[in-house]
Structure 1
Amino acid sequence: MLTLRTLCERRDLELTVLVPGPEGALDCEVSWTHNTELPDPSPYLRRGELVMTNGLWHIAGHSAESFVHRVQDAGASGIVFGLRREMPATPADVIDACRKAGMPLLELSVDVPFTALSQAAARTLAEQRQSALMASVRRGNALADAISSGTGAGGVLRVLRRDHDLRLAVVDRMGHLLGSAGAGLTDDDLVVVARAVARRPPPLEVTLSNDSAALFPVGVFGEADAALVCLRPAAALDEAERGALEQAAHFLSMETARLHAVQATEMRFAGELIDMIFAGAGASREFAARLKTFGIEAADPLAVCALALAEGEAAVSPVPANAVMAFFVSEGVPAVVAPGGRDTVALFPWRLTEGELEASMTRLLSLLDRQLPKQKVVLGYGGPAGDSTKLKVPLMEAREACQLLARGSSAARMARFAELPSHSALLGRLDGQVVQRFADALLTPLRDHDAQRGAQLELTLRTFLANEGQFAATADALYIHVNTLRKRLTRIGELTGRDPMKFEGRVDLFLALEADALVRS
């Protein structure tokens, strides 16, 4: 088990205990390390994580007591304050805040980077995880050699192929091919396997394009993250082959867990970058340094897109970040991909033309359509911005365009903010309560009248506007006489104070209907 005491006992890390915390705190489990300079990192912390900070938030004037309180509420195991040449000692108010809160506080030498601490934690955790898994399988097996040598899923499959004449592949739940040995899976095959992995529990066999294939779930704690696919029916496997495949699936679970842990860390790191853009930190050295870890230079032209799944009229959720990242990997473009509550944001360098940017976003949307065939994916995009300091507006516009598309404000599924109808864009930027009050002021009298008298004033108004104010076409659509239509429109004007037979009245009533649809989505 990784603990604060374990890390402190490593002399090469040069850690000093400033606040030990309550009795036994130094011996509590540390789940992972998390580097942050946000004044409130709690949304990105998981219970048991060790928070590492250089105190840039402190230099900016944020409260030490507030920072420690947020970290403690998130369930962190402790705080490591990394000294710098500019800050050779841990601030007294940080020490006092940790002492009052009972939060363990360690001080890291100027000469030791946070990466050394993270690597030490990673090595300890990896050794413990490997030891626990290896205890359940035969020692010295060639599969362990394949994993420990870093050859990944492909190495495991090659070991199996040396002993058994099997065609094999490893496919994750997003339909990505993690490794293959003798198995030529088509795109349709990958989709079939991904859907099977998503089922609870996954089936033991699926029908692919050429033959039936046996599936061996790969995952930890009973949750399938991927599947080891053998292109042979389950009934055709002998006991030795089945045993070897089951054994390999156990080892592959360690590899997929490692991959997902790395991806999860990158996603949280990416989320902090997006928050820093909104906070106006796009010009800071810290932002540029973090951006560079993703292979992106802050001085480069940058583009941004936001993607969401529109499920029905109200539910809007982010697109799986792994699927978005897979696209940029296939395009050879470095990217920061951050999933949020309602959308997934991707930030990436772009030196080509705006037309080529649109073509690239079209390819991304097409890929997601293939991977998520039963979902409606929408995409808003912005840029290229000249550099990271100009990202805030394109980011805001990309996310706003995405949400407007998800709400059905346009028939399009991909657009820039400026390409959307002006009334949708303007309504989308107003406070939701203001929009609601405007819509209710005009539409509630109509709806009350219709409910009390069994009338159809709202339907009449919608039909009249849909027919661009043409009396004959509207009357025909409603199967009523033109004089009846005029009486209804007059009544609408009396109830709302807006005459639908005049242009300005029609504009207000149209906006009320659009606003009502927006706030109800």
Structure 2
Amino acid sequence: MTVVKTLLELPELRLRLRGGGDLLDRRVTRVYGTELPDPSRYLSAGELVLTGLLWWRGPGDAEAFVAALARAGTAALAASGADSGGIPDDLIEACERHRIPLLEVPPDLSFAVIVERVVLELAAHREAPPGRLPAHAVELSLPELLRLGATELGVPCWILAGTGRVVASTGLLLPEAEPLAAAFSMGAEVDSRHTVLPAGEGCTVPWALVAGGDTARWTAEQHEIAAEVAALIGRRRTPARQTEAERSLFRVLNGGGDLAEAFAAAGWAPDTSVRVVLTRTEGDAVAGDLLDELLAGYPLRVLRGRFGDDSCALVAADGWPSDWPAAAGRALSTVEPALPPGRVLVGVGGPAALTGVRGALEEAVHALEIGANREDRVAVVPGEEIGVHRLVLAGVSDELRAALRRRVLGPLLDYDAAQHSDLVHTVRVFLESSGSPAVAAKALHIHVNTLRYRIGRAGELLGLDLTDFTNQVDVYLALRISG
């Protein structure tokens, strides 16, 4: 039997006890990682819970998190305080209050190492029923585990993400991937040609083990094997953790410092071109999970972190698929039923040189704002959809917008108000028709001579030649200031 004390005695983990020394005989049955502020819905008794404290923003945040662990019967909490300068005092106090053993993880130790070592320890003390997978299955990679499961079951198998992405397969195509993923995400019944078993809990995007063939005739032993394969797949899912170089880079991006030096420390060449992807949801950890899933499956170099309140990925543009925004939109639509309530927004900026990353970040932020103004629950907006005039006007204050609009368009606005006319609309249609009288007249359902007269009258009021390109740009920007 594996207990909390056993984990402290594993030299390669270097775990440090920070509280709960009288509770070390609690039995550990599994390991689970989370960055949710309230992980209640995903917890089960006997777990060693891992967290990088991404949910902790300040004193008082620990109470709800630790209370959820206590209600679920958590065996112990293992936390890494690398991003916050150590384990917060309120987390130590909350663990003492709720009687949760607290273990501190060294900042240079990957959670993946902890998961692997704990799973091995649990497997070593487990009495496996006859007919199930061999003990070494816990050490296999996902593709190897899937091949073993397919061999034992005698049917083709796949690991399917709720987005429709095939994470691994036994070599056969899964043409029904997106419909299967959509049905799985909605909790609907899947077609009779496949058996779908949930693989892992606690992640925003669900994964499943999909087994093909007529599984209605499976023996009890086969069902046990499939359940064990699914459980082992779930244990492979651990939160992505930042390296120290990534943490340093995002501190520079959010504050100040030498970007070139920060990118060099992360191993990126000076001539690298970068895309920026920002994800915004009502739950910060949810956004990070989604961003990881949306970029998975592409051979791209990625640096992950946070920019302001949004989850951020800096992606090497070399090899960036041109259809990524559309593919991301389809993936999010497929998994949407499984997502927590609230909107999901994704903005893309760039490509840009490393020295221009801050500009690409601003572009991605404006893309998020455009998505926020749309009615859809899920919106993926690439920078290419943002007109240059939007970016030029983005940093202008409301007061300056009003002043500029009045300065440029004042006489025209006054004329329309006094005469109950709509010359402003006529000018806007004319400019949006590339200054073509024929096209504008057709759009307004008037004669072209009438259109020319109105544009001439508007020019007189404004004191501008509206056939001059520079004047057209100034007037068009003034028109767009108010949307």
TM-score by length of 1: 0.57
What is the identity, as a one-letter code, of the residue corresponding to 1:214? H
Which of 248, 251, 276 is equivalent to 1:306? Answer: 276
Contact residue 8 and residue 15 of structure 2 kept, 8 A: yes
What does the per-residue CA deviation read over 1:76-122, in whole Å, with 9 as the maximum and x for residues that have no partner?
7798779xxxxxxxx9xx99x9489946799999xx95445957864
Quote the residue 2:297 is aligned against. Answer: 326
Name the residue aligned to 1:461: 427
CA contact (8 A) 1:492 1:500 kept: no
Match of 2:361 in 1: 396
Deviations 1:114-149 (CA, angstroms, capped at 9, x unpaired):
4459578646864798799x89xx625432636323
Structure-1 residue corresponding to 2:173: 185
Code of the residue aligned with 1:176 in structure 2: it is R
Match of 1:219 in 2: 199
Residue 138 (structure 2) aligns with = 148
Identity %, equivalent residues: 16
Q: C-alpha distance in 1, partners of 2:92/2:418?
A: 61
Opposite residue 445 of structure 2, the aligned amino acid is: Y
Q: CA deviation at 1:161?
A: 2.7
Change (3 A) 1:255 1:512: farther
Structure 1 vs Structure 2 CA RMSD = 6.2
The equivalent of 1:380 in structure 2 is 349
Match of 1:251 in 2: 228
Q: Alpha-carbon deviation of 1:230?
A: 3.5
* Paired residue secondary structure (2:238): helix
Q: Which amino acid aligns with 1:346?
A: L
Q: CA deviation at 1:185?
A: 0.7
Is 1:279 equivalent to 2:255 in the alignment?
Answer: yes
Q: CA deviation at 1:271?
A: 7.9
Counterpart among 187, 193, 214 of residue 201 in structure 1: 187
Counterpart secondary structure, 2:313: strand
Contact 2:274 2:357 in 1 (8 A): no
Bigger relative contact order, structure 1 or 2 (CA pairs below 8 A, ≥6 apart): 2
Code of the residue aligned with 2:238 in structure 1: it is A
Q: Following TM superposition, by how much is the alpha carbon of 1:73 offset from its aligned partner in structure 2, in angstroms?
A: 7.5
Sort the Cα spacing of 1:492 and 1:285 in 2 relative to 1 into closer, same or farther, 3 A. closer
Output the TM-score relative to the length of structure 2.
0.60
How many residues are paired up? 426
* Structure 1 residue 510, shift from structure 2 partner: 0.7
Call closer, same or farther: CA 1:453–1:336 in 2, change over 3 Å.
same
Distance 2:406 2:418 in 1: 17
| C-alpha separation in 2, matches of 1:4 and 1:438 | 67
Deviation at 1:327, TM superposition (A): 1.1
Structure 2 residue ranges without an equivalent (≥5): 40-48, 67-76, 281-286, 334-344, 374-380
Q: CA deviation at 1:232?
A: 2.7
Aligned twin of 2:444: 478
* Residue 310 of structure 2 is aligned to residue 345 of structure 1: no
Of residues 293, 309, 323, the one that matches 1:366 is 323
Structure 1 position 366, deviation (Å):
3.1
Unmatched 5+ stretches in structure 1:
35-42, 54-65, 83-90, 207-212, 292-296, 311-316, 351-356
Any conservation in 1 of the 2:200–2:237 contact (CA below 8 Å)?
no
Q: Deviations over 1:343-381 (max 9, x none)?
A: 853333x8xxxxxx4xx33xx123664565598998532
* Contact 2:209/2:230 (<8 A) preserved: no
Q: 1:464 Cα deviation (Å)? A: 1.5
What is the letter of the counterpart of residue 345 of structure 1? A
| Contact 2:199 2:233 (C-alpha < 8 Å) held by counterparts | yes
1:516 CA drift (Å): 3.4
Offset of residue 218 of structure 1 = 1.9
Say yes or no: does 1:510 pair with 2:479.
no
